[in-house]
Amino acid sequence: MALPRGRAEKDADLHLGILFRWDGTPTDPYQVRQAEIIDTDGETVLATLTDFEHETGSGEYYVTVPAAYLDAAGRYLDRWAYTWVDGEGEQTVTQDFYVQETAAPEHYGPDLQAGAGYLKGVPPLAANAQDGITQADLDAAMNAADVMIQSLFGDAYILDDWIESTPPLVAMVWEILAAGKAIVFKDLRLGAPAEQDGAAARLVRSARELLDKILHGRPERLHLRDSDGNIIRPRKDRAPTQPRAADATSDWS
């Protein structure tokens, strides 16, 4: 499975995307001819890719970079060549991504995707941070949700194996928290006022309700269970666990 831009790793396939807009509306250009992958020197073209994934009318184009081209850590460029209108000159737009020695840590839930799950009503990822939610927002939100899960559950449960096999209820809480954070990051950057009944506020309330049921049994007790259905008992020694460092990075969507 190809990794997303914000979690590029050496010697692993990478899934890159771009969103084209016309007057602020996602729009397909007349032609997207190719995407070039440029080495860490900022000049050498490693690959020219033309096998795009695209849904007509979405303005979104995706391409998979084979692992063989990403054999060093550092900053790479992806340069897209496109033509807006038939008969007009070709233009290019350049983005960047950072390849790490190893991928960012796994999270306590599935990777967030704009337009899916609790972010179903959110438009596709924006190429410009002033246009909406970016991959950087999603990365930061997932890392923040990791820290919250550790803080909320670390005093009551042993978390050593939760990254590899997260209890389903915890994964649900994590996803709600991460989605709410992503919306908050976007709203704060764009100067949108906080809404008491906005999407982020509703998600936070849902997470609090679940947490109250799991941690405090209010209004009724929800027991944590593992993937086999066995109840996970709280720890007897309530010493808190140390938070796990998160180092995912992404400057572009």
Whether residues 63 and 185 share a domain: the answer is no
Q: Are 213 and 152 in contact (CB under 8 A)?
A: no
Query: 43-47, 85-89, 99-103 — which one is most confidently predicted on average?
Result: 43-47
Q: Using CB atoms within 10 Å of the CB of residue 178, give its burial: 0 to 12 exposed, 13 to 18 middle, 19+ buried.
A: buried
Confidence bin at 1 (pLDDT 50/70/90): low
Which H/E stretch holds residue 36? strand 31-38
Among candidate residues 99, 119, 137, the one where a domain is terminated: 99
Q: Which domain holds residue 178?
A: 104-253
The pTM is what?
0.54
Contacts (Cβ under 8 Å, ≥6 apart) of 86 = 30, 31
Q: Please report, for the domain that includes residue 29, its CATH number.
A: 2.60.40
Among candidate residues 69, 99, 129, the one where a domain is terminated: 99
Q: Note the pLDDT tens digit of each residue in 188-230.
A: 776 666 566 678 888 988 988 998 899 888 888 899 998 788 9
Among candidate residues 73, 99, 125, the one where a domain is terminated: 99
For the residues 177-196, what does the mean pLDDT come to?
77
Number of domain units in the chain: 2
